[in-house]
Amino acid sequence: MSETTVLAMAGCGIVGSAVALKLLNQREYYREKTGCDLELRYIFSRSFGKAQAAGIDDSYFLTDPGKILADPEVSIVIELMGGVDFAREFVVKALTAGKHVVTANKAMLALHGSELLALARTKGVTLSFEASCAGGIPIIRALQDGLVANQIDALYGIVNGTCNYILSSMSQKGQDYHTALAAAQAIGFAEADPTFDVAGIDSAHKLSILASLAFDCQADFASIPVTGIDTLDAMDVVFGKELGYVVKLLAVANRLPDGLSLRVRPTFIATGHPLAWVSGPFNAVSVYGDTVGHTMYYGRGAGGKPTASAVIADIISVASGVTPTRFNQKRARPDLTHPVVQLPLGRIRGRFYIRCMVIDIPGVFAALASALGRNGVSISSVLQKELPDADRSIDPVPIVITTHTVNEGDLERAIREIDELECTVQPSVCIEILDEFQESFS
């Protein structure tokens, strides 16, 4: 325990610089606090700009990762490069060389997690990834350790700070998507090319990791239905608010009798739910366990220092022997589990918000109601406003309908019929309304 653990890092951008600075400046603090003496020996990076700006000495830098793999004293490799193919290749080499790996790379894990975990086990080392989901929030540990006594019933996550910041602006300031995105870009909360975040891909990566752990299964990233926030109309944010809901990009997983539903999409949640007030760049994950009921974890889901907090927690867990001990637990890692039946959206049951854009001629509401009724969709509430400036005979008006619990497949059929009506001038919008999950306490 008082031996020195030698570390090498690959990738030194915002997160890498934060991790390196902490490791270098707080070495004595961590040793005193945990008994682990952590020596950062190498930093492999293709660009040293951020690290140099942060004041990290050039002597740590390598441009060839081979030295890391060849140094038998390096026991933990920290992968913070991002991207999939090169990172995967490097991690495979590091594990094969008998080195523990700590990574924040959700894309790599979503696509190749099971393979890499299995390789780690074969080589007698470990792969840790607390920083891959929800930044500094110790949610991986909660699922693997704190909630281990539970069968998880459901998980609702706000796991992308960029989207949450944009949606908070739309909701609180009444901005439209493009205005809110531009403002987020201006202060560095959104990338110049924000596609990965706003299209929901990043959230789906994280959901596949979280669901694998929560449900002891191999979730298939490619089968997760994903809708981003980039097509969300400000009008729906406003109407939702009037109905008592806040829109969030939610990553949802819940257990159904015949499989698991995983989905990422803009979702309405009642203002009384703990996730509803999670605003700005914060992340939060609600986990519903069969024993503990509802627990929720909140914090910063991105940023150099918050993410560094999770990376260093993983390093210390490996260095102290905790992770190597835990890593051998049966089923605690997805590679020892089985693929799961992931249900298509048509198979889930839920409540929905529907906005139809119709020409307001006599009989139009009857036509909508009939289409819904024919498909077994029962109406809970209707919101139709007079638009003073509109010409009713040519301008479309929004009719907002909320449903009782329906089968999403039935709803899809009803919407197809509505969208084919002559009075319908734009495709209807459907947004799931996620109710508080009923705690099971089984």
Residues involved in catalysis: 206
Give dist(CA 346, CA 238) in Å, integer. 27
Q: Least distance to a copy of itself from the beta carbon of 159, Å?
A: 14
Beta-sheet pairing, 379-384 with 152-158: unpaired
Beta-sheet pairing, 127-128 with 74-79: unpaired
Q: Are 94 and 101 in contact, with CB atoms under 8 Å apart?
A: yes
Which member of 55, 277, 339, 416 binds a copy of itself (CB under 8 A)? 277
Q: Are 420 and 426 in contact, with CB atoms under 8 Å apart?
A: no
Return the bridge partners of 431, or none: 353
DSSP line for 115-184: HHHHHHHHTT--EE-GGGSSTTS-HHHIIIIITTTPPEEEEEEE--HHHHHHHHHHHHH---HHHHHHHH
What x-and-dash track marks residues 138-177 binding a copy of itself by CB under 8 A? x--xx--xxxxxxx--------------------------
Q: Least distance to a copy of itself from the beta carbon of 322, Å?
A: 5
Which member of 137, 209, 232, 411 binds a copy of itself (CB under 8 A)? 137
292 binds a copy of itself (CB under 8 A): yes
Give start and end residues of each alpha helix (H) in 287-321.
Answer: 304-319
Q: Least distance to a copy of itself from the beta carbon of 280, Å?
A: 11
Q: In what helix (H) or strand (E) does residue 51 lie, and over which residues does it extend?
A: helix 49-53
45 binds a copy of itself (CB under 8 A): no
Q: Least distance to a copy of itself from the beta carbon of 309, Å?
A: 4
234 binds a copy of itself (CB under 8 A): no
Of the two residues 284 and 368, which places its CB atom closer to a copy of itself in the complex? Answer: 284
Token pair listed for 130: 């607390």
* 82: phi then psi, degrees, rounded to nearest 5: 75, 180
What x-and-dash track marks residues 17-36 binding a copy of itself by CB under 8 A? -----x---x--xx-xxxxx
CA distances (Å), 125 to each of 102, 128, 327, in order?
11, 10, 9
Q: Least distance to a copy of itself from the beta carbon of 301, Å?
A: 11
Between residue 201 and residue 230, which ones bind a copy of itself under the rule CB under 8 A?
216
302 binds a copy of itself (CB under 8 A): no
Binding segment (CB under 8 A) for a copy of itself, from list 56-64, 114-122, 207-215, 330-338:
330-338
Which spans of this chain sit near a copy of itself (rule: CB under 8 A)?
1, 22, 26, 29-30, 32-36, 130, 135-138, 141-142, 145-151, 216, 272, 274, 277-278, 282, 284, 289, 291-300, 303, 305-306, 308-313, 316-317, 320-322, 325-326, 328-332, 441
